[in-house]
Amino acid sequence: MTTLPSSTDKKLGLVIDLDTCVGCHACVVNCKEWNTGGYGEPLGDKDAYGAEPVGAWLNRIHTFEVQPDNAPASIVHFPKSCLHCEDAPCVTVCPTGASYKRSEDGIVLVDEDKCMGCGLCAWACPYGAREMDPVANVMKKCTLCVDRIYNENLPEEDRIPACVRTCPAKARHFGDLGDPGSDVSKLVAERGGFDLMPEMGTRPVNQYLPPRKKTRPDTVVAQHENQKVKAQGFLGWLDNALEQLG
């Protein structure tokens, strides 16, 4: 079995704003594109244009309709990928050492040359963040675009994960969550960021920002009516006449 580092120099990860995500899947598509031509084996697909397509995707978005108490129903788009857990069960269960966590930045990776496709890591991951590649028959997962973030051949603004770079709503943020002074750590503190399924004890590095409280439409209309300014003179007479006709 593979052991985890006792500590890591950094805790690189993502902060995802559930209030801002619009579910456009741009992050999903760009992740697929980058990881098909980047680190490791390409992300494989079988029968891509047939009746039963199968493929490996490292980032997925789930959409839910939610209705908290005393609040209107709303749609929440929930992006999900590897959370790069501090106590990653996918690493400790791996019999070949293919799954490992880097001590320098906390990123969880898979050495595809060592992976035998047994699927134990997928079974151990409580988040369903592992993907068996149907072509290469090895396990795939989010790498935080490790081949981008350290690539000095890229412009500095591109040295972030592909999903973060492409998000049109700026719902995804990347940085060192082990540094309380980093932008992502401050964002988590300000917005009350939370772990996904903390009861599992995996201590995920990635954090989610909760949706902001929504206002009921009837409340908005009432507020608008109270704020209306009555027109004076001829325009006031015309406004009143049109209301009576309406």
What is the pLDDT confidence band of residue 244, given thresholds at 50, 70 and 90? confident
User: What does the alpha-carbon distance between residue 165 and residue 145 come to, in Å, rounded to a whole number?
Assistant: 11
* 12-214 maps to CATH 3.40.50.80: no
Return d(Cα 134, Cα 131) in angstroms, integer. Answer: 9
For 114-173, write each residue's pLDDT tens digit.
999 999 999 999 999 999 999 999 999 999 999 999 999 999 999 999 999 999 999 999
Average pLDDT along the chain:
90
A 10 A CB-CB count for 8 gives 19
What's the pLDDT band for 41 if we cut at 50, 70, 90? low
According to DSSP, the β-strands at 54-55 and 45-46 are antiparallel
pLDDT tens readout for residues 51-61: 998 999 999 99
| Cα–Cα distance, 202 to 106 (Å, whole number) | 13
- The more confidently predicted of residues 184 and 67 is 184
Do residues 101 and 91 make contact, with C-beta atoms less than 8 angstroms apart? yes
The per-residue pLDDT for 103 is 97
Domain positions in the chain: 12-214
Percent of the chain with pLDDT strictly greater than 70: 89
What mean pLDDT is predicted for residues 8-22? 97
Please give the Cα distance from 87 to 139 (Å, whole number). Answer: 19
Looking at residue 246, what is its pLDDT? Answer: 58
189-216 pLDDT per residue, tens = 999 999 999 999 999 999 999 998 776 6
